[in-house]
């Protein structure tokens, strides 16, 4: 009979100790909470669960093929059509509008129009060795250095001929400028135009000769 209390105490102690150990083992995996595997409480917690929205996805920075090739002219016949059409349109505009302006002013406006045509063509033209989607550097006016050099030399020759004409007129009959070039102001504007064209294309020639071996070349398919 004395052993009954001891047996009861031992059984109670063993049961209590076993239950406590089991509870501790279960609660040790979930921070003291008893969870059922697969339940919502068993899933990992994120900051988005607290009402914080996820960060927006970065937009695709690559230009679309349709928009990037829309204003690119690669075929030679389209380049010729652009040049002929632009100059015809400008000539018709000049006949309708510039005919009423003084010669010097009409010369300046006409040369500005020519410069715009040249610059826009240089921005949209692409050669077979250029990536159509990539923008051209500001200094590049042709696809290859040979064409840049040819245009630059021709513009430099016209510029030099104009200088020689002005010098000759100064030593002979300076009033001849009024009948030949519409006056000294118009001659100076024309010289400035051809000097600028020569500088732009010759600079393009030099830069292309230096950097063309390092430019990624693409073959026409």
pLDDT above 50: residue 65: no
With respect to residue 35, please indicate whether it lies within any of the assigned structural domains. Answer: no
With respect to residue 48, please indicate whether it lies within any of the assigned structural domains. Answer: no
- Judge residue 188's burial from the number of C-beta atoms within 10 Å of its C-beta, 0-12 exposed, 13-18 middle, 19 or more buried: middle
Residue 195's domain spans which residues? 69-214
pLDDT confidence of residue 182: 59
Give the C-alpha separation, 192 to 10, whole Å.
Answer: 113
With respect to residue 56, please indicate whether it lies within any of the assigned structural domains. Answer: no
pLDDT tens per residue, range 24-49: 443 444 444 444 455 544 554 544 44
Instruction: Average the pLDDT over 167-191 and give the result.
Output: 72
pLDDT tens per residue, range 115-161: 999 999 999 999 988 888 888 999 999 999 999 999 999 999 999 99
With respect to residue 113, please indicate whether it lies within any of the assigned structural domains. Answer: yes
Position with higher pLDDT, 149 vs 181: 149
Instruction: Average the pLDDT over 97-112 and give the result.
Output: 88
Residue 53 has phi, psi (to 5 degrees) of: -70, 150
Instruction: Average the pLDDT over 167-186 and give the result.
Output: 67
Instruction: Average the pLDDT over 65-82 and give the result.
Output: 76
Residue 73 has phi, psi (to 5 degrees) of: -115, 115
CA nearest to 203, candidates 149, 122, 160:
149
Number of domains in the chain: 1
As a whole-number percent, the residues of the chain with pLDDT over 70 amount to: 59
With respect to residue 81, please indicate whether it lies within any of the assigned structural domains. Answer: yes
Q: Which residues contact 155 (CB under 8 A, 6 or more apart)?
A: 194, 195, 197, 198, 201
pLDDT tens per residue, range 189-221: 999 999 999 999 999 999 999 986 654 444 444
With respect to residue 166, please indicate whether it lies within any of the assigned structural domains. Answer: yes
With respect to residue 24, please indicate whether it lies within any of the assigned structural domains. Answer: no
Instruction: Average the pLDDT over 93-102 and give the result.
Output: 85
């Amino acid at each position: 009979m004395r052993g009954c209390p001891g047996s009861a105490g031992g059984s109670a102690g063993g049961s209590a100790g076993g239950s406590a150990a089991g509870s501790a083992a279960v609660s040790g995996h979930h921070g003291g909470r008893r969870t059922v595997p697969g339940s919502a409480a068993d899933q990992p917690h994120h900051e988005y669960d607290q009402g914080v929205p996820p960060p927006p996805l970065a937009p695709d920075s690559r230009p679309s093929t349709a928009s990037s090739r829309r204003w690119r002219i690669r075929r030679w016949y389209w380049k010729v059509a652009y040049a002929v059409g632009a100059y015809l349109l400008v000539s018709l505009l000049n006949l309708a509008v510039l005919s009423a302006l003084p010669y010097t002013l009409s010369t300046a406006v006409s040369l500005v129009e020519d410069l715009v045509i040249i610059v826009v063509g240089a921005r949209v033209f692409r050669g077979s060795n250029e990536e159509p989607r990539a923008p051209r550097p500001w200094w590049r006016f042709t696809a290859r250095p040979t064409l840049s050099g040819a245009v630059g030399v021709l513009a430099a020759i016209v510029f030099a001929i104009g200088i020689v004409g002005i010098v000759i007129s100064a030593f002979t009959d300076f009033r001849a400028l009024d009948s030949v070039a519409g006056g000294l102001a118009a001659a100076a504007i024309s010289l400035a135009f051809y000097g600028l064209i020569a500088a732009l294309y010759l600079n393009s020639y030099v830069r292309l000769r230096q950097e063309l071996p390092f430019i990624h070349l693409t073959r026409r398919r």
